[in-house]
Amino acid sequence: MLELLALGLVILGIVLLFNLWPQPQPSHRQRKPSPVFSGWGTSSAHSLHNKLLQLLRGDRQAAHRLLEHVRHLHPGRSERWYYEKVIYDLQRDRRS
């Protein structure tokens, strides 16, 4: 009986240690938010930005989240590419 209690305490200790042990966090490169319209013409930048907001019915937070997600998946692309990708994906998903 005492042996079972000791075994149970050992197992409980192992479970507690495992759950309390700090888990390594994935290292995500912290990037500074890039200027929205850097490097490409302002008229096309505003039109793409406005088109995205129109598709999202003015939800700026959703637009920001979608752009950040695409930036994370495809680093190193131009801002114009990110906007075009998000707009294309929204339109594609809404057709299905």
Interatomic CA distance for residues 51 and 84, integer angstroms? 10
pLDDT (0 to 100) of residue 1: 81
pLDDT (0 to 100) of residue 41: 58
pLDDT (0 to 100) of residue 55: 93
Asked if 88 and 95 touch (Cβ cutoff 8 Å), the reply is no
In the DSSP assignment, the letter for residue 41 is -
Helical (H) or strand (E) element with 61: helix 60-73
Does the predicted TM-score (pTM) go above 0.75? no
Consecutive 10-residue averages of pLDDT for the chain (96 residues): 82 72 62 50 79 94 95 94 94 85
Q: Which amino acid is at 62?
A: A
pLDDT (0 to 100) of residue 18: 67
- State the CB neighbour count (10 A cutoff) for residue 24: 5
Unique residue bearing structure tokens 């490169």 = 29
pLDDT (0 to 100) of residue 49: 92
